Chain A
Amino acid sequence: MTPSPSRAKLRAPLGGCDCYLLALEDLMERSGQGRHVGVTVLEVGRGFEVERLREAAARFSESQPILGAKLQRGLPGAVPVWRGDQTAEVAVEIHPAGADWRGLAEERLQGQWPGRLRFDVWPASEGFVVLMSWSHLLLDARGVELVLAEVARLGEEVPAKPEVNSHALPFARHRSWWQEFRAVRPFLERYWSLRSERVVSLGGAPARAGRACFEAVRFSREETAAMKRRADPVTGGIFALPWFLAVTMRAHAAVFRARGQENGSLECTISVQGRKRGARGPIFQNQVSQLFFARPLPDPASVEDTARALHGQFAAMTRDKFDGAFLVMIDWMRRLPAPLYRRFLRREASGQLASFYHAHTGEFLPGVREFCGGSIVDGWHVPSVPQPPGTGLFFSEREGRLTASLCWRDGVLSADERALMWSAIRADLLGAQ
C-alpha cells in the first residue's frame, strides 16, 4: 500500500445491502467458509495485451481509494464505514499457457487471497482467459461489469483526471418514520407469511465448512436461440426472471425428489438491481434489493406453469413495491449490532437463508467490445454460495450464447445429483432431448 496524500481521507458508510452482505460474510467466516467472493471469467481474443491490463489496473487502483480502505464497525448502533487514505495495488498475475485455470478459479473462490480485487491471466488456444476475483462486500454483479468497463476504458486512454468518487451514494432521508414504516409493510407481511413454511435447502442447516465449487456450461448460439423460441410463449420474449427461476427451482426439486424429500417449501430470494438504467455509478456499492419467491403449490407439472405462477408472484410483489420495502428495511438494519444481524440471518427461511441462490444477470458487459486490445468472446460470473443453502444456479448471456454456472459447497451435491440437475436444466430450457 502507498500513501496518497493528495486525497482526503475516505469515509464511506456501508449501504443497506452492503451491511446485509457483511452479516452474511460474518456467518460464512464463522463456519470456515471464507469470505463472500466472486470470480468473473472473461475470454478475450488474441489482441489482448497483458501490459495494458497492468497499466489500466494500476490507474484504476489509484483512482479508487476504497480498494485500500479498512472496514470499521464502530460502536454498537453505528453504521459500519470504509475508512482510509491509501491506495491498494490491484494484482495482475500471469500464469503459464496450459495451466488449469478452472482449478485456480476455484481456488480464488475460497477467498484466501489478499485485497478485494485481483486479476489472473492465462494464454489460451484462441486468446486469453482473464479471471477477475472480487469481494462481494464491495461489488454486486452490475458493479463488477462497471469495473470491467472502467478498466477497459483505462486500457484505451489515460484520463486527464482520475475519478475518485465511485464508492458511495449519499443516504438522504426524505421521509418521516411513519412514511418509512408504511413503505416497509409489504416486506414485513410477506416475510411473516413465509415464516410459517418449513423451508428446505440441499445443504441444510447448520452452516458448516466446505470448499466452494462450480461447473459452467456454455450453450451454443443454436441452443440459445431454441431456448428463446421455447420460452417466448410464456415470457413474451422479455420476462426472463420468472422463466429462469422456474428452471432453477425445478432443477432443485428434481434432486429433492431423488432424495425422497418432497415435503419442504422451496424459497428463493432474487436480487434485483437498484441502479436506474443508464446510471454509471457508484461502482463500489451493492445496490440490489430482493424479491422473495416461493415454490407454487400444488407443484405445477410443467416449467411453463411454474413460470406463470412465479410471474404472478413477481407482479404482486412489484405492485406492492416489495423491492422498495426491502431497501427501507435493510437501510434500517444498518445500525444493528453484528451479533443481532447474524441472529436475524440465522432465522431467515427456517434457518436456511433460502432454498438456493439464483440470478440471471442478462447480457454480460453490454456495449463493451474490447478489453485491453482483445475482443471479448464471452464472460460470466461465479459467486461463492454460502452453506446453507449450499447451491446456486446463475445465468448470463453474451452475443446470443447463454452460460449457466452451477455453484455448490463441497459435500452438498454428489456427482450424480449434479448430473441430474444439468439434465433437468437442459430438459426445461430446450425441451425433450
Chain B
Amino acid sequence: MHGLPANLEDALLGLVREKLFEGGAPLTVETDLFAAGLDSMGIMQLMISIEERFGVRVPESAVTRDNFSTASSLAAMVRRCAAPA
C-alpha cells in the first residue's frame, strides 16, 4: 500500500476544508458533503487533489455518490484504490 497517513480520515477532511469549503466550516468526517454543497466542480477538484496528495489513481468506477459522500467514505475508497491488485 502507498504511504497513506495513519489517520487518513482527518487528512482527507483537512483537504476538503482547504480546497473546497470556507475556513472554519463545521465539518466532521461524517458530514454529508453533498448536503454541504459539493458540486461537479468540487468533486473533480477533490478527486484530483486526492490523486496528487496521496499518489493514488481514482478509477471512473470509484467515482460514486456513496464514495464521495463523507470524509470517512472517501478514506475507505482511497484505501481500496491504494491496495495492490
Q: Could you say which of A278, A319, A323 contacts B41, with CB atoms under 8 Å apart?
A: A323
B63 contacts partner chain A, Cβ-Cβ < 8 Å? yes
Task: Determine how close the nearest CB of chain B comes to the CB of A17; give it in whole angstroms.
Answer: 15
A272 near B41: Cβ-Cβ < 8 Å? yes
A319 near B48: Cβ-Cβ < 8 Å? yes
Contacts of A241 in B (CB 8 A): 40-41
| Interface range for B | 20 to 34
Produce 1/0 per residue, A230-266, CB < 8 A to B: 0000001111111000000000000000000000000
Produce 1/0 per residue, B12-54, CB < 8 A to A: 0000000011100100000000101111111111011000000
C-alpha spacing A239/B42, complex, angstroms: 10
C-alpha spacing A279/B37, complex, angstroms: 10
Closest residue on chain A to residue B19 by CB atoms: A276
- A residues 191-249 with Cβ under 8 Å of B? 236-242
Instruction: Give the A-B contact count at a CB cut-off of 8 A.
Output: 57
| Interface range for A | 20 to 34
Contacts of B37 in A (CB 8 A): 277-278, 366
A237 near B65: Cβ-Cβ < 8 Å? yes
Interface residues of B: mostly helix, strand, loop or mixed?
Answer: loop
Q: Could you say which of A240, A278, A279, A319 contacts B40, with CB atoms under 8 Å apart?
A: A240
If A241-B40, A272-B41, A318-B45 touch, whether A279 touches B22 (CB-CB below 8 Å) is yes
C-alpha spacing A278/B36, complex, angstroms: 7
If A273-B39, A314-B44, A318-B45 touch, whether A238 touches B65 (CB-CB below 8 Å) is yes
Produce 1/0 per residue, A353-391, CB < 8 A to B: 000000010100010000000000000000000000000
A301 contacts partner chain B, Cβ-Cβ < 8 Å? no
Interface residues of A: mostly helix, strand, loop or mixed?
Answer: mixed
A297 contacts partner chain B, Cβ-Cβ < 8 Å? no
If A276-B22, A277-B20, A318-B48 touch, whether A239 touches B40 (CB-CB below 8 Å) is yes
A273 near B41: Cβ-Cβ < 8 Å? yes
Task: Determine how close the nearest CB of chain A comes to the CB of B5; give it in whole angstroms.
Answer: 23
Q: Which residues of B contact A (CB under 8 A)?
A: 20-22, 25, 34, 36-45, 47-48, 60, 63-65, 68
A-B contact pairs, 19 of them (CB 8 A): A236-B65, A237-B64, A237-B65, A238-B34, A238-B40, A240-B39, A272-B41, A273-B39, A276-B20, A277-B20, A277-B37, A277-B42, A278-B21, A278-B25, A279-B22, A314-B40, A315-B44, A318-B41, A360-B40
